[in-house]
Amino acid sequence: MSKAVFVQKGEVIDYTAASALGYLDVVPLVTRIGVALEDIPVSGIGSVAVTGVYELPAVNNAAFAVGEALYWDATNGVLTKTATDNTPAGWCVEAKALAGTVAKVKIG
């Protein structure tokens, strides 16, 4: 029978940066986002959080309700409810008014 080997809790992963990242930059990871926990130079390895609640910039033309799926629009650097061409970010943990410019999202 095959055995698993525990590596880590998975709340923070080692990430090799394709481009330079700053502390708390959003990191699109194909099917989710992470948040850089340190400056990471190009081709450098650094820590990226893949769980937790973060306040991030958000579109100011849509209200978000608690529990709604949110997506990261890397082109504009904001959270949105639009899935098309955006990376799944997580779910909204605090209601955001239509004109609000930040939202709290549970990533992971």
Mean pLDDT of 17-41: 97
Mean pLDDT of 24-45: 97
Model pTM score: 0.92
Query: b/e per residue, 34-51, with b = 16+ CB within 10 A?
Result: bbbbeebeeeeebebbbe
pLDDT tens digits, 43-76: 999 999 999 999 999 999 999 999 999 999 999 9
Kindly indicate the confidence band of residue 80, based on its pLDDT and cuts at 50, 70 and 90: very high
Domain ranges of the chain: 12-51, 53-107
Mean pLDDT of 10-37: 97
What is the per-residue pLDDT for 81?
98
Sheet containing 12-16, strands listed edge to edge, beginning at the edge strand earlier in sequence: 12-16, 45-49, 33-36, 26-28
